Amino acid sequence: MSPHPNKDIEIERATAGCGVSRRRAHAAVLGFYLAAALFNGEALLREAHLLRYGPLRDSAIAAARPLAAAARMTRLGRLRAWAERRSPAH
Amino acid sequence: MLFPTVAFAIFFLLAYVGRWALARRPLPLKLFLLAASYVFYGWWDWRFLGLIAGSSAVNHLLALAMARHAHGRPIGRLLGLGTVVLTLPPLTAQALIRAGAGARLAAGVGLGPEIGANTLWCAAGALAFVLAGRVASLFGAGLYDAPPARVRTGMARALGGGAVIVNLGFLGFFKYYGFFVQNAYALCGRLGLSCPLPLLDIVLPVGISFFTFQALSYVLDVHRGEIAPAPSLLDFAIYLAFFPQLVAGPIVRARVFLPQLIRLPVPDRLDVGRAAVLIFGGLFKKVVVANFLAQSIVDPVFGHPAIYGAWDTLFAVYAYAVQIYCDFSAYSDIAIGTALLLGFHFPINFDAPYFSASVQAFWRRWHISLSSWLRDYLYIPLGGSRCSPRRTYLNLFLTFLLGGLWHGAGWTFIAWGALHGFYLCVERLLRGGRPPPPSSFGRRLAGQLVTFHLVCLSWFFFRAESFEDAWTLLGNFGQWARPECLNLPVLAMAVLGFASQGLDGRRVERWWDAFGRWPTWAQALAAAAALTVILGLGPRGVAPFIYFQF
């Protein structure tokens, strides 16, 4: 039971200055959220409709509706539909 | 709150924005991190917030007492005041609840909703936590900056022993009480005696095994003089409850995480490439591979072992080996990746365990944070390998037996641990204490095959609901009928899951760096597309991670 050689990968990489600037990282994270919302807008609306009746469901539907409309308009929602058609689990 | 859900996505966005918006204001940032972690934990059941807050307060006060004692400062008032602030608010809450319940019963309106009692308990826990923080700040001044010291006196031992008893007491009550009472009833029934212990319906708080082991490592390291106590209760409470690894590990040591929390560096660069590969690799392993294998072959075969033959049983245990690796390593990877995006570094927890050529090597690569915890706080204190050969074998066996019990309150988990302890003893016996010889490709491959199958044999006991089920599954190897659950998607997914071990360690370091060099818009788009495909390919609904139950 000796110490693991790969244990401190992150410390070594941080010391070596790996990665991107903080500003670029923030832009990537926020861009990711925006793109993910567009790719999955229709699925989000579908799942919001499955929630139990109540204020949470109403606000989820209200929030997902414009995303679903944007996903349809930009046709980005097709990626999710394509993946679902090919899923071995469905 | 589960990782692959919309709730967590929104929560993480808020946590990310808050973390970096408050980056240069340490106190608000720490308060924010603690609040975020408590929201994450309270999402399951907010009543258990009192447990984790209480555990933080008790352990921090005990660590302070140990450090003060080691530096020759009086500890009587600290212990006295600490005991009062930790017990008085809960006792008052209990008295108020009883008085309220009595009044309601006297008025003939029944006990009313639980919410009143729960709110009182939670308020009492919060008050005790705040008061404990005040006591800690009064008595902890200067201890963090002083060099850690160890004093071997009766008081030091008593404090160390007290810390172990308190932590194991928490864990024992919530996790093992039911198991212990059931077995006591069975034993008393056989002996014709009546069992005096009450049967309680105790809900197991999520992640209790993980945060208890983190708390234990902290107090034991302070007791050994290896680290100084945290400078404030706030720092320690964040260490114990930090949301990425709170529920299912990795078990991060205080000596790794506390310095990061105390300095709170504002890094110029973030390792987005590594974080992305960890998070999306983890999501793929969990949502696509683990969930699919569970639904398609593992749950049906292990749920009804008597109706399947040898082929189905064989492939179900192979699939389970892949499922549990994909499930558990996924949680660790996502935890490490999300912590990385928040500017914190955690050590890896898995390193391609099924490529190991011996069981000893397997335990250096599987759940590394637990195996190193068991080594440092159980195996070595028991004497490790620095005693007689017979005692060494006993230490090894006991360590894994207790490691098995840590996983779950059941005889099947104990059998799983005992089997691994037995494997390690036999390996040690065969090697005769010598280091393993340099091996050829063929020899290594044979070692990997044998190790994988020995580990699979142990998974029968780990996954089966009972011993009867485990024996039935093993008995299925007498009937080589045509397989019913095996098909091409199952086979492909099992191979894909097995191959996903290639993402562990430094094996795909080039990918991390390559992804980091992409333009920002391409990184965002690729990550979002990856998430979409993963969510689309996975089964509908989100299955909880296997290790949540531990």
ipTM confidence = 0.86
Using DSSP's 3-state secondary structure scheme, residue B43 falls into coil
**pLDDT digits over B17-31, tens only?**
999 999 888 899 999
Tell me whether residue B345 is one of the annotated catalytic residues.
no
User: Residue A2: what pLDDT?
Assistant: 43
| Chain A contact present for B543, CB below 8 A | no
- Tell me the average pLDDT across B209-217: 91
| Chain B contact present for A18, CB below 8 A | yes
Q: Is the pTM of this model over 0.80?
A: yes
d(CA B97, CA B107): 15
- Distance of residue A15 Cα from the nearest chain B Cα, in angstroms: 10
Higher pLDDT: B141 or A38? It is: A38
User: Residue B437: what pLDDT?
Assistant: 66
> How far are the Cα atoms of B167, B418, B510, B550 from residue B171, in angstroms, in the given order?
6, 21, 42, 11
User: Residue B520: what pLDDT?
Assistant: 86
Confidence of residue B542 (pLDDT cuts 50, 70, 90): low
User: Residue B486: what pLDDT?
Assistant: 78
User: Residue B498: what pLDDT?
Assistant: 93
- Tell me the average pLDDT across B122-139: 75
User: Residue B54: what pLDDT?
Assistant: 85
CB B202 within 8 A of CB B178: yes
d(CA B319, CA B498): 9
CA nearest neighbour of B474 among B456, B491, B487, B452: B456
- Considering Cα of B476, then B477, then B483, then B486, what sign does the dihedral take? positive
Residue contacts between A and B (CB atoms, under 8 Å): 167
Catalytic residue among B60, B69, B223, B407: B407
3-state helix, strand, coil in chain A (%, to 5): 70, 0, 30
Across chain B, what does the average pLDDT equal? 84
Does residue B202 register a pLDDT over 80?
A: no
> How far are the Cα atoms of A16, A20, B32, B519, B521 from residue A31, in angstroms, in the given order?
27, 15, 24, 12, 7
Measured between beta carbons, the chain A residues lying within 8 angstroms of B375 are 1
**pLDDT digits over B394-425, tens only?**
999 999 999 998 888 889 999 999 999 999 99
Measured between beta carbons, the chain A residues lying within 8 angstroms of B493 are 88
Query: Residue A1 and residue B360: Cβ atoms within 8 Å?
Result: yes
- Distance of residue B430 Cα from the nearest chain A Cα, in angstroms: 17
User: Residue B33: what pLDDT?
Assistant: 94
**pLDDT digits over B47-65, tens only?**
788 888 888 988 988 888 8
Does residue B519 register a pLDDT over 80?
A: yes
Using DSSP's 3-state secondary structure scheme, residue B118 falls into helix
User: Residue B105: what pLDDT?
Assistant: 56
Confidence of residue B436 (pLDDT cuts 50, 70, 90): low
* Residues in chain A where the model's pLDDT stays below 50: 1-3, 5
Q: What are phi and psi of B222, to 5 degrees?
A: -65, -40
**pLDDT digits over B458-511, tens only?**
999 999 988 889 999 888 888 887 878 778 888 999 999 999 998 887 777 788
| Chain A contact present for B539, CB below 8 A | yes
B105-127 residues labelled b (16+ CB within 10 A) or e (exposed): eeeeeeeeeeeebeebbbebbeb
| Chain B contact present for A6, CB below 8 A | yes
Of all residues in chain B, the percent with pLDDT exceeding 70 is 92
Chain A neighbours among B 27-46 (CB < 8 Å)? none
DSSP code of residue A20: E
User: Residue B401: what pLDDT?
Assistant: 92
> How far are the Cα atoms of B47, B54, B526 from residue B50, in angstroms, in the given order?
6, 6, 41
**pLDDT digits over B97-122, tens only?**
777 666 665 665 554 545 566 677 77
Measured between beta carbons, the chain A residues lying within 8 angstroms of B341 are 25, 29
- Tell me the average pLDDT across B303-329: 91
**pLDDT digits over B260-283, tens only?**
888 887 888 888 888 998 999 999
Residue holding tokens 């930009």? Answer: A74
| Chain B contact present for A89, CB below 8 A | yes
User: Residue A3: what pLDDT?
Assistant: 46
CA nearest neighbour of B408 among B169, B176, B213: B176
User: Residue A1: what pLDDT?
Assistant: 44
